[in-house]
Chains A and B, each alone.
Chain A
Amino acid sequence: MASGNDQSNAAAVTSAPEAGNLLGFLRNKGVAATERPSSDHPAFNVPAGEVVATLQHLRDEQAFDLLMDVTAIDWAEGASPRFTVVYHLLSTTRSAYVRIAVNCASDTAPSAPSVVSVWPGANWHERECFDLMGIKFEGHPDLRRILMWDEYPYHPLRKDFPLAGIETALPDADVTAETGTRVLAAPMAGGPFVATSGEINLTEAEPRAKDESWADRRPRPDQEGLKQVRE
């Protein structure tokens, strides 16, 4: 693994990878990158057309050899740009991260170039991003859904999709015919289940509906009297 190539890469960038250095590097390569506000790692906005070249340069010349994640942000309906695709890169030799963000030009049919040609591992990341966010990755060799079934009509992590889901057909018509079951919106019964972080008492910390109007242990204020009568 520790080939001469890796070491020379590491040697070339032993100085702390400041955001400014990286920005200068990208500018030198002719990428119209701009710095992006970030509270942790260096982050840059890159035009959609230049993302493949950017990632290639960062991988080959800055030793960012691992693509950690491809994900997307939905800035909610009405925002423009509505969708931003985000790439997280890690350099295993110098333990540094960098984040590359690409705004999608279209707010209704967002797309971004596929980086499978640079990192084959991006294949499933991009499929997941397509499945849940509906970003179309141009040039992807096999852009199918990966978590939901192929015929599923929605992209569930978009902001306008309700957590409970939307009624639709099951993937298999024969099973629907046999059981009469469809995909239904889940009953929310007091809101989604959320865990309380930082809670010492595990009974309190375990995931529960925050609106506990139905719970035995915490009666609604207007049921306080009832509870006492029962006890």
Chain B
Amino acid sequence: MVTASTELGYNSKVEGDVVVTRADAVINWIRTNSMWPMPMGLACCAIELMAVGGARFDIARFGAEVMRFSPRQADCMIVAGTVTYKMAAHLRRVYDQMCAPKWVIAMGACASTGGMYRSYATLQGVDRIVPVDVYVSGCPPRPEALLDALMKLQAKVKREPATQRLFSDDAPPRADLH
């Protein structure tokens, strides 16, 4: 049975201990554990990305199971596959539509470097068009490797000066692109 609380305001007997912390730590703790991915599945690596979402590997354990197909609701773009030059501009547009703070994982050899597609049609690494936070090697990477990348990204996000960036332009410096 649910009874309406009659308490108004703070009551130390009810609320228990007070935790003192820094805003950075709280904000980063929230961010790291609800990092919604934008599944940019462009080729075979996307199949492994799907496996990561399945029950066996269960990306939900890391709070990143909510694959958002709208960039406006996503925090972390997982580029899983071969990026052609024709696709590169669209990928950048999707990235531009994601709300800051936002991160990018380059999953697999193709997204990281162009992989085996050393050809006229393939962008030689997605870091030429968007800033990449974590690269995952493999062709395709094992699902565990992607989970590892996600954990690495979480560790990276935990070190970010979140409060400083709250009121500043969060755009990454241009030097990240080359």
Residue positions of A touching B, CB distance < 8 A:
147-149, 154, 156, 161-166, 170-172, 175, 178-181, 183-189, 192-193, 207
Contacts and interface: CB of A to CB of B under 8 A. Distances in A.
Contacts of A193: 116, 118
Contact of B129 (A148, A154, A161, A181): A181
Interface string B94-120: 001000000000000000001011111
Nearest to A193: B116
A172 B118 contact: no
Contact of B121 (A165, A180, A189): A165
B119 A170 contact: no
B155 interface: no
Contacts of B93: 175
If over half of B's interface residues share one DSSP class (helix, strand or loop), that class is named, otherwise mixed; here it is loop
Given A175-B92, A179-B129, A186 B118 contact: yes
A164 B86 contact: no
Nearest to A166: B120
Contacts of B130: 179
Given A149-B85, A188-B118, 19 more contacts: A149-B86, A162-B120, A165-B119, A165-B121, A170-B88, A170-B89, A175-B129, A178-B92, A179-B128, A179-B129, A181-B88, A181-B177, A183-B85, A184-B124, A186-B117, A186-B118, A186-B120, A187-B124, A189-B118
Contact of A156 (B116, B121, B128): B121
Q: How large is the interface on B (under 10, 10 to 19, 20 to 34, 35 or more residues)?
A: 20 to 34
B122 interface: yes
B122 A186 contact: yes
Contacts of A166: 120
Contact of A148 (B116, B121, B177): B121
A147 B122 CA distance: 12
Interface string B157-173: 00000000000000000
Contact of B177 (A171, A180, A185): A180
A87 to B, nearest CB: 26
A187 B85 contact: no
Contacts of B177: 179-181
Contact of B92 (A147, A179, A186, A188): A179
B118 A164 contact: yes
B120 to A, nearest CB: 3
Nearest to A190: B118
A193 B110 CA distance: 13
For the complex of A and B, list the 6 residue pairs with the smallest distance between their C-beta atoms, beginning with the closest. A165-B120, A172-B89, A193-B116, A186-B118, A175-B89, A181-B128
B137 to A, nearest CB: 14
A172 B85 CA distance: 10
B128 to A, nearest CB: 5
B114 A186 contact: yes
A164 B93 CA distance: 26
Contacts of A187: 118, 124
Contacts of B128: 179, 181
A206 to B, nearest CB: 8
16 contacts: A148-B86, A156-B120, A163-B118, A164-B120, A165-B120, A172-B89, A175-B89, A179-B128, A181-B88, A181-B128, A181-B177, A186-B119, A186-B124, A187-B118, A188-B118, A193-B116
Indicate the member of B85, B89, B120, B123 with the most A CB atoms within 10 Å.
B120
Contacts of A165: 119-121
A161 B120 contact: yes
Contacts of A147: 86, 121
A145 to B, nearest CB: 10
